[in-house]
Structure 1
Amino acid sequence: MRAIWKGAVSFGLVSVPVKLYSATESHDVSFRQVHQADGGRIRYQRICSVDGEEVPYSEIAKGYETEDGEMVVLTDDDFANLPTTSSREIAVEKFVPSDQIDPMLFEKSYYLEPENTGVKPYALLRQALLEADRVALVTVALRQRTTVAALRVRPTDNGDVIVLQTMMWPDEIRVPDFNVEAGEIKDSEIKMANMLVETLAGDFHPEEFSDDYADAIEEMVKAKIEGGEVERTPTSTKTSGEVVDLLAALQRSVAAAKKSRGEEVPEESSDKDEDKGEEKGEEKASEAS
């Protein structure tokens, strides 16, 4: 990995010189827009919407569009007067319980590696975070803008590492404009839902999950390169129909989960569920007639 930033974590009178590394990378499949006939890449011209002329890159400026559609053109001199900072300090503001930070606020993650002279204070901060069971709320200047971030300890194959996670500002989190009114939920339905949760309970192992879409794209492209046929994956058999009897659906889910784990499921209960469903269907049919 290549360090993208160097600075120092400061808490109290202690300073920890560190390097910053991107902790994540995207594996999203990306495509190019091309001409279907010959595969040539599609190029775009920078055309002015007012005079219709192509604009050279040297004449392109930044514009801020107001709510009423007016465009305010901003120059380099305007940006030079903005409050920016080139500080290389990661300043610890306070130590807070991790459950007080909404995970939606987290934006991007970075690993912090200590410089040679900062190994001991780095280990000290790491141990303090672990024993206090808290995260450090910090301010840091990245790309000349001050942002709020959190420092926490993450276990890795190479030992415990301090991670810096930048955070969004509170007003960047959208408030949902809908309200879910489920009506009355029966105690039996809640009990069965809890049973389903317990049946499917387990530990999180990321390696159990894979990006089927990306894998399928790679296989398809490989097949095309090799001149072979593209294998089509079977379509999903899941339905989106409305579940009328919630309790029965939960009971079947619990039974299916137990069966997948090798547990014995009484056949009587499943037969009764099916009989009840048939009886309900017969009753509805007789009522309709």
Structure 2
Amino acid sequence: MAARSIASLSLSFGLVSIPVKLYAATESSSDVRFNLLAPDGSRVKQQYVSEKTGAVVERSSMNKGYEFERDRFVVFTGDELKALEDSASHVVEIVAFIPEKAVNPVFYDKAYYIAPDKRGGKPYSLLQQALAESGRCALAKWAFRGRTRIVQVRPEEGGLVFQQLLYADEVRSLSDLHIEHVQVSDSELKLALQIIEQGTEDNYDPTAYVDEEKQRILAAIDEKIEGKQIIANEPAGVTGSGGQVIDLMDALRASLKGGKPKAAAAATPTAPKRKSAEPVTKLPVAPRTRKPATRAEKAPAETPAKVRARK
């Protein structure tokens, strides 16, 4: 799938204006997400209730309050908060050039990529090469979604990284932890350096490692799909006790015969019968589960659960 840009920006480099497009560098959808279900297998809805009366409060009637003392608030309406926001701007102004390693990674927030837009190829390449040659990165101001942010523009082999940075008051100081520093002997330090030398690698290869917990969860999901344990909600308006656990093989055989599958539970709610002329619904069949490896030698085949996890 082709990458989709988030915004069109203009990066100000001295008197040069570089038209660029902004792209997300990471995917938050990589986590395996679960839905909350009621005992009958239906989805549940979240509601807000008043602590005082217990009545349900609609979102449209809510205001936001800042608690300046315990149980005492100053209240702002949506319009009042909107008036306090910075106006969004498509212009990203570079304010300084600093050494590339000057920013402590603890200040790194969300990462983006920027690519040249129409007629921006040459000035984009010029800035990328100039930053790489100088060993410096650029600091810029960016007004986005009601807030002015500080970003680092740094060169990579394939282009420019647009790294959003945290403000000083958003990062804790190590000095607040009052860490005790203990003297170590020369022999202890020597042994520690030898251990480091044995495990030294030239570069970090992110493809060499996998999220083992995620792999276990996906394998368990595929096992349940292949092992015939799914919850099927009835269409709205159909009477019955709700969802039921269905054997997939029974479902397939029943589809061919025009009947209904056997439920794993004793109670089977009423479900509409499938007509024999109706096409058979193809259900996903996951591959055999594998034990996840700490180091990934090659990309595993995608299973139905992995496909859904990426969406």
Range of TM-score over shorter length = 0.7 to 0.9
Partner SS, residue 101 of structure 1: coil
CA deviations 1:227-260 (Å, max 9, x no partner) are 17998979xxxxxxxxxxxxxxxxxxxxxxxxxx
- Give 1:49's match in structure 2, choosing from 48, 51, 63: 51
Deviations 1:138-179 (A, max 9, x none): 001111311100001122xxxx21110111101110134433
Task: Give me the whole-angstrom Cα distance separating, in 1, the residues matched to 2:116 and 2:219.
Answer: 41
Q: Could you tell me which residue of structure 2 aligns to residue 17 of structure 1?
A: 19
The 1:71/1:127 distance shift into structure 2, 3 A limit, reads: same
Query: Equivalent residue of 2:214, what SS?
Result: helix
Aligned to 1:245: none
What amino acid maps onto 1:57 in structure 2? R
User: Could you say which residue in structure 2 is the equivalent of 1:4?
Assistant: 6
Q: Is the counterpart of residue 30 in structure 1 residue 28 in structure 2?
A: no
Q: Which amino acid aligns with 2:4?
A: R
Give the structure 1 partner of residue 296 of structure 2.
none
- Judged with a 3 Å threshold, the aligned counterparts in structure 2 of structure 1 residues 168 and 67 are, in CA distance, closer, same or farther, namely farther
**1:1-289 maps to which residues of 2 (within 5 A)?**
1-26=3-28, 27-35=30-38, 37-155=39-157, 160-176=158-174, 177-181=176-180, 183-203=182-202, 204-227=204-227
Q: In 2, distance between residues paired with 1:232 and 1:65?
A: 51
CA distance in 2, matches of 1:23, 1:233: 29
Is the alpha carbon distance of 1:134 and 1:34 closer, same or farther for their aligned partners in structure 2, counting shifts above 3 Å?
Answer: same
Separation in 1 of the partners of 2:76 and 2:155? Answer: 42
Identity of aligned residues (%): 38
The Cα shift of 1:65 comes to: 1.8
- Aligned to 1:9, the other structure's residue is in SS state strand
CA distance in 1, matches of 2:152, 2:186: 41
Unaligned runs of 5+ in 2: 230-287, 293-311
CA distance change for structure 1 residues 208 and 47 in 2, over 3 Å: closer, same or farther?
Answer: same
2:22·2:114 contact (CA, 8 Å) conserved in 1?
Answer: yes
Structure 1 residues 232 and 178, CA, compared in 2 at 3 Å: closer, same or farther? farther
2:265 alignment counterpart: none
> Where do 5+ consecutive residues of structure 1 fail to align?
235-289
Cα RMSD over matched residues?
2.2
Structure 1 residues 58 and 8, CA gap change in structure 2 (3 angstroms): same
Amino acid at match of 1:84: D
Distance 2:41 2:290 in 1: 23
More helix by share: 1
After superposing the two structures, state which structure 1 stretch, 69-78 or 126-135, moved more: 69-78
Deviations 1:70-120 (A, max 9, x none): 122211331243151221111000110022211111101111111121111
Q: Relative to structure 1, is the Cα distance of residues 231 and 77 closer, same or farther in structure 2, using a 3 angstrom cutoff?
A: closer
8 Å Cα contact 2:219/2:290 also seen in 1? no
**Separation in structure 2 between the aligned mates of residue 183 and residue 147 of structure 1, nearest angstrom:** 39
Q: Secondary structure at the match of 1:81?
A: helix
Within 1, Cα distance between the matches of 2:188 and 2:42?
58
User: 3-state DSSP class of the match of 1:116?
Assistant: coil
Q: Structure 1 residues 58-67 or 85-94, which shifts more?
A: 58-67
Kindly state the Cα deviation for residue 55 of structure 1 after the two structures are TM-superposed. 1.4
Amino acid at match of 1:170: A
CA distance in 2, matches of 1:96, 1:134: 5
With structure 2 as the length reference, what TM-score do the two structures score?
0.69
CA contact (8 A) 2:222 2:289 kept: no
How many residue pairs are counted as aligned between the two chains? 229
